[in-house]
Structure 1
């Protein structure tokens, strides 16, 4: 997880790589899964990250969660704001990493991978 200050947009960007490399043949299904997942993320989004200049035949680098806060030139990010960004990223990654992992390990479809990770435990064991 890392922060980057983007002066061109006066914004603070948090990025969190999932460290889950994959092959080019998974890209189409992953875009579908990203679309399904991002509908359920309130702050930030997941995206496929490729190093600039990579050949399309090369394995894709990673899936990244990205969240950005814009500021005016007079504002500075507060500890509360940065903590919220970190917590949002951690929550999103904890919740949706299993869907990406399950899809890449052979789920029948992106929707099946998502549904397998979206459940809530009710009651006591």
Structure 2
């Protein structure tokens, strides 16, 4: 005997084109967003330390959704070596995605690519998890970058200080 599906089941299993699903998530959460194109959405989310710009770009030919989270940190040339060093230490601890710095302008960002398979659909759960992971990682390591940029700490000291502070606040 076939199982009967309810409307609730359909809602939980709904997948959509990635940009459309992200727009639905942003709208439901009350986060400002705009469509840059049919394949790109840009939004803003308030994190614990800063407002984060979120850019999501759908590459249909590869079935990859690239997500960028920008914590509005620009790195001066004299601080770039220390930031590159601390990013390598941080990226050892990040399970999904990684931190990077654009060579043009020294803009710091968190980047993650989601491979969505042949159908190229994104579920609400995937969208929420990806956005939350990006914001969580930016919140987790934001103080590390600030310790280097404004506190003149070494990369190892900045990382140790930020992690100690995070443990102390829990």
Structure whose residues are more often helix by fraction:
2
Which residue of structure 2 aligns with residue 55 of structure 1?
A: none
Question: What is the Cα deviation at residue 21 of structure 1?
Answer: 1.1
TM-score where L is the length of structure 2: 0.63
Which residue of structure 1 aligns with residue 96 of structure 2?
A: 43
- Report which of the two structures shows the higher radius of gyration computed on alpha carbons: 2
Which residue of structure 2 aligns with residue 121 of structure 1?
A: 168
Question: What is the Cα deviation at residue 122 of structure 1?
Answer: 7.4
RMSD: 1.7
Which residue of structure 1 aligns with residue 33 of structure 2?
A: none
User: 2:74 matched to 1:27?
Assistant: no
TM-score where L is the length of structure 1: 0.83
SS in 2 for 1:87: helix
What per-residue deviation string (whole Å, max 9, x for no partner) do you get for residues 27-81 of structure 1?
A: 1111100001111111111000234xxxxxxxx3310001111122224011110
Distance 1:75 1:5 in 2: 9
For structure 2, the residue ranges without an aligned partner over 5 or more in a row are: 1-53
Higher RCO, Cα 8 Å, sep 6+? 1
Regions of 4+ moved over 4 Å:
none
Which residue of structure 2 aligns with residue 97 of structure 1?
A: 142
Paired residue total: 115
Change (3 A) 1:122 1:90: closer
